């Protein structure tokens, strides 16, 4: 085992200069009370010894870690990377680091991750599309007064901060647009139980109503946000010989599967069937047929949520903050 150069501590600096660790600490943190001359010498020595403050010790003493925990189902799932980037950018801008935890949307794993994060004494938590949406799920955070914010999916109750996309108006926007062409709109909503899906159904229904179209529950299918699910559902519909004119998918990933099934059947998009998605993923404009969709401001959701959280951490404000970002209709060739 090779000899390891130990990282210098304030004591090492103090010893070098024949002064106290206290003085070094004050100087390096610009706390004042130390002569300018000495401050200069201390800083020089720190640089020379390649001093790196031990943030762990600092955290222990100050009871703050400048670290934010991020709990997310699957950080690699299409929609999330941009959100995470937004989180990381906003956090590092304010001097915070992020610890990323994947949980596969399994409640038990989320709770475990939460415990790990609490043990690491994170200063705050971001719950991104989390399953812990019931008040009792996050009671612990409240009790311990650890700031947290929901992203993408809000809590069932209004007792927590959140930053979400306006799912009701997003779905409304799209349904309303599709209704210009057809009165029969299939809706492949996301299944994974969550309030976003509920909100989107509300938007869809609202559009129908305003257009004087009777809501037909048989046109609404619920599925996982996966290509396969969209493919299978669409295929089955087509095999049954059902008359499909337009399919509004709860996420772009589902649309991809839907388009595959349609193309495979030899039908044309949008001439025979219109397809629309939700999210506006990175490559939505470059798919088999460029996809009409609802743009969610993924990066912004991450930034805004993080800024909100950091404000909470800093000010310990008590009031709830609910940010609802406006979605945008992006029309491309699939409709």
Residue ranges in contact with DNA by CB under 7 A: 6, 9-11, 18-23, 25-26, 28-29, 31-36, 38, 51, 53-54, 57-58, 60-63
Identify the residue whose tokens are 């100087």: 27
Distance in angstroms (rounded) separating the CA atoms of residues 49 and 35: 21
Question: Which CB, 33 or 212, lies closer to DNA?
Answer: 33
Residue 2 interacting partner from DNA, a copy of itself, none (CB closer than 5 to 8 Å by kind): a copy of itself
Distance in angstroms (rounded) separating the CA atoms of residues 278 and 273: 17
DSSP state of 291: P
**For the residues of 199-254, what is the DSSP string, one character each?**
HHHHHHHHHHHHTT----GGGEEEE-SSHHHHHHHHHHHHHTT----EEEESSHHH
Report, in Å, the least distance between residue 31 CB and a copy of itself.
Answer: 19
Query: Is residue 119 involved in binding a copy of itself (CB under 8 A)?
Result: yes
- Strand pairing class (328-330; 293-295): antiparallel
If DSSP codes are grouped into helix, strand and coil, which group holds residue 188?
Answer: strand
Q: Which stretch binds a copy of itself (CB under 8 A): 26-34, 88-96, 125-133, 173-181?
A: 88-96
DSSP state of 69: E
DSSP state of 5: P
Q: Which stretch binds a copy of itself (CB under 8 A): 24-32, 86-94, 196-204, 238-246?
A: 86-94
Question: Which CB, 43 or 121, lies closer to a copy of itself?
Answer: 121
Report, in Å, the least distance between residue 177 CB and DNA.
Answer: 56
Taking CB under 8 A as the criterion, which residues in 10-69 touch a copy of itself? Answer: 50, 52-57, 59-60, 65, 67
Which of 287, 285, 280 lies closest to 257, judged by CA?
Answer: 287
Residues whose CB is less than 8 angstroms from the CB of residue 11 and which lie 6 or more positions away in sequence, other chains included: 21
**Residue from 134, 283, 314, 331 that binds a copy of itself (CB under 8 A)?**
283
Query: Is residue 136 involved in binding a copy of itself (CB under 8 A)?
Result: no
Are 288 and 260 spatial neighbours (Cβ–Cβ below 8 Å)? Answer: yes
Which of 268, 286, 284 lies closest to 276, judged by CA?
Answer: 284
Residue 38 interacting partner from a copy of itself, DNA, none (CB closer than 5 to 8 Å by kind): DNA
**Residue from 24, 27, 42, 101 that binds a copy of itself (CB under 8 A)?**
101
The radius of gyration computed from the CA coordinates of the chain, to the nearest angstrom, equals: 26
**Residue from 90, 141, 173, 287 that binds a copy of itself (CB under 8 A)?**
287
Query: Is residue 260 involved in binding a copy of itself (CB under 8 A)?
Result: yes
Report, in Å, the least distance between residue 46 CB and DNA.
Answer: 10
Report, in Å, the least distance between residue 77 CB and a copy of itself.
Answer: 8
CA dihedral (244, 245, 248, 251) in degrees, to 10, reads: 70
Which residue ranges make up the site for a copy of itself (CB under 8 A)? 1-2, 4-5, 7, 50, 52-57, 59-60, 65, 67, 74-78, 80-82, 84-85, 88-89, 92, 97-102, 115-116, 118-121, 140, 143-145, 227, 256, 259-260, 282-283, 286-288, 316, 318
């Amino acid at each position: 085992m090779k000899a390891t150069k130990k990282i210098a501590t304030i004591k090492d600096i103090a010893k070098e200069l024949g002064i106290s660790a206290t003085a070094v600490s004050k100087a390096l943190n610009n706390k004042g009370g130390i002569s300018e001359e000495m401050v200069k010498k201390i800083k020089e020595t720190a640089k020379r010894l390649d001093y790196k403050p031990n943030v762990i010790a600092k955290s222990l003493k100050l009871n703050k870690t400048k670290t934010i925990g991020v709990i997310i189902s699957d950080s690699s799932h299409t929609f999330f990377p941009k959100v995470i980037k937004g989180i990381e950018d906003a956090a590092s801008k304010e001097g915070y680091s992020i610890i990323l935890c994947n949980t596969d949307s399994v409640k038990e794993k989320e709770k475990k991750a939460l415990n790990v994060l609490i043990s690491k004494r994170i200063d705050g938590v971001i719950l991104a599309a989390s399953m812990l949406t019931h008040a009792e799920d996050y009671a612990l955070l409240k009790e311990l007064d650890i700031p947290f914010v929901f992203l993408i999916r809000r809590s069932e109750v209004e007792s927590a901060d959140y930053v979400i996309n306006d799912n009701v108006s997003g779905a409304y926007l799209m349904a309303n647009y599709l209704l210009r062409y057809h009165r029969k709109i299939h809706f492949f909503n996301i299944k994974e139980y969550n309030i976003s899906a509920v909100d989107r159904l509300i938007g869809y229904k609202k559009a129908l109503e305003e257009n004087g179209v009777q809501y037909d529950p048989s046109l609404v299918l619920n599925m996982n946000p996966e290509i396969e699910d969209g493919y299978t559902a669409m295929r089955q519909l087509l095999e049954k010989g059902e008359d499909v004119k337009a399919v509004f998918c709860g996420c772009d990933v589902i649309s991809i599967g839907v388009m595959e099934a349609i193309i495979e059947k030899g039908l044309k998009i949008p001439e025979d069937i219109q397809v629309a998605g939700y999210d506006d993923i990175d490559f939505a404009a470059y798919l088999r047929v460029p996809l009409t969709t609802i743009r969610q401001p993924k990066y912004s959701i991450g930034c805004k949520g993080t800024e909100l959280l950091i404000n909470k951490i800093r000010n310990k404000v008590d009031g709830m903050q609910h940010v609802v970002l406006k979605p945008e209709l992006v029309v491309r060739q699939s409709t």
